[in-house]
Amino acid sequence: MMMQPVGESLPIGVPSYLLVSLANLGPKMFNVTKINGIVSDVKSGKALANFTRRMYGDPLGPREQRSFRYPFVPNKKLSPGEYQMTFSIFYANRDKEGFSTEVYSGKQVLAAGPPEKSELPLTEFAMAVALALGIAIAYTSLAPLLSGAPKSNAPVDTRSATDPSQWLPAVPSPKKKKSPAAKRT
């Protein structure tokens, strides 16, 4: 039986579920190996898409009953409309002889699924812009500290090197002596 979604149609591109219930009434143990499904055209019976095969590997002992939930997603390449869906379960005995049983075959209407989300929704975009601005502000306020230059509020000395300092006494600069060779000429 189809479990989800509940309603008349299955949305394309959205997970749906099939519930498969098995009962082993015989004396031998079986191993349930996989379930898969196929979507076919209603009129021609031509296979249009396969559902993803799901592996199980669960034992089903004599006089046991077990249910399996099979998730499947109608392919986004299918257009909305009515399709034939067939699901089969595969199992094996101890001698590894394979068996399969069709567990569901019926017409299902596929409807358009929800619209695809944009690559970058507005809230994520706003968060990315806020983060970038925060990093820029942090960088501009921390850059002087990270460069090793101490931040100082003292006025900058704009005097040239030839101006006398207010803290040191003025000392006359030593005059160069002319060499004796320069005097002769």
Q: What is the pLDDT along the chain (185 residues), one digit of tens a residue?
A: 776 565 678 888 888 899 998 898 989 899 999 999 999 999 898 989 988 888 888 888 999 999 999 999 998 888 899 999 999 999 998 888 999 999 999 898 888 877 766 555 667 777 777 788 878 777 777 766 666 655 556 566 566 555 555 665 666 666 666 656 555 55
Q: Tell me what pLDDT residue 115 has.
A: 72
Q: Which domain holds residue 85?
A: 2-111
Q: Which one-letter DSSP state was computed for residue 177?
A: P
Distance, in Å, from the CA atom of 93 to the CA atom of 59, rounded to the nearest integer, reads: 10
Domain at 28, CATH number: 2.60.40.10
Nearest Cα neighbor of 50 from 25, 87, 102 is: 87
Residue 86 lies in a domain: yes
State the first-to-last Cα distance of the chain, in angstroms, to the nearest integer: 123
Residue 126 lies in a domain: no
Q: Tell me what pLDDT residue 156 has.
A: 61
Q: To which H or E segment does residue 132 belong? A: helix 122-146
Nearest Cα neighbor of 63 from 21, 29, 92 is: 29
Q: Which one-letter DSSP state was computed for residue 48?
A: E
Q: Tell me what pLDDT residue 56 has.
A: 87
Q: Tell me what pLDDT residue 140 has.
A: 78
Residue 127 lies in a domain: no
Residue 134 lies in a domain: no
Residue 39 lies in a domain: yes
Q: Tell me what pLDDT residue 65 has.
A: 92
Residue 24 lies in a domain: yes
Residue 45 lies in a domain: yes
Residue 25 lies in a domain: yes
Count of alpha carbons within 13 Å of 30, Cβ hemisphere only? 24
Q: Tell me what pLDDT residue 90 has.
A: 93
Domain tally, the chain: 1
Count of alpha carbons within 13 Å of 119, Cβ hemisphere only? 0
